[in-house]
Amino acid sequence: MKILKTLARTFLLSLVLILLLGETETRGQQAGKSTAPFPETLNRIFSNSCTPCHTNKGGLMSRSRLNFNDWTLYSPEKQKEKADLIRSVLEKEKMPPKSARESRPEIILTKEQIGLIKNWADSLNSVNKK
């Protein structure tokens, strides 16, 4: 009788583990192909000027503040928060960082590009306002 109970417990435990592992795997896959959450024009700006640092292949500091690979895992509230942060660093010309601007001036955003990103951040605000 005792053996049966142990067996049943082991079985249930493995079932839970398998379910948990499966869950993590699907989430990982979704993060991997998260290229579509932005309009194409923004996608191009971000991949030209930001993703070398702000994706899984970037540095720890930049990745921990903003990681485009994780974007689709963020809640709408968090996406809005990050979009506002992006707008604010662009308005203050804090990003791309000074050192990167000097070595690769071609990644500096134009006024038009910053404008597009501002409009996008504003549009998120109104969509997510409840």
Point out which residues bind ligand HEC (CB under 6 A): 49-50, 52-54, 59, 61-62, 65-66, 85-86, 89-90, 95-97, 100, 109
Tell me which amino acid residue 49 is: S
Q: Quote the least distance from Cβ 41 to ligand HEC, whole Å.
A: 14
Q: Quote the least distance from Cβ 70 to ligand HEC, whole Å.
A: 13
Of 86, 1, 11, 76, the residue nearest 37 (C-alpha): 76
Residue with tokens 């990982």: 28
Q: Quote the least distance from Cβ 24 to ligand HEC, whole Å.
A: 26
Question: Given the complex with ligand HEC, which of 26 and 110 has the nearer CB atom?
Answer: 110
Q: Taking the CA of residue 65 as centre, how many other CA atoms within 13 Å lie in the half-sphere pointing to its CB?
A: 14
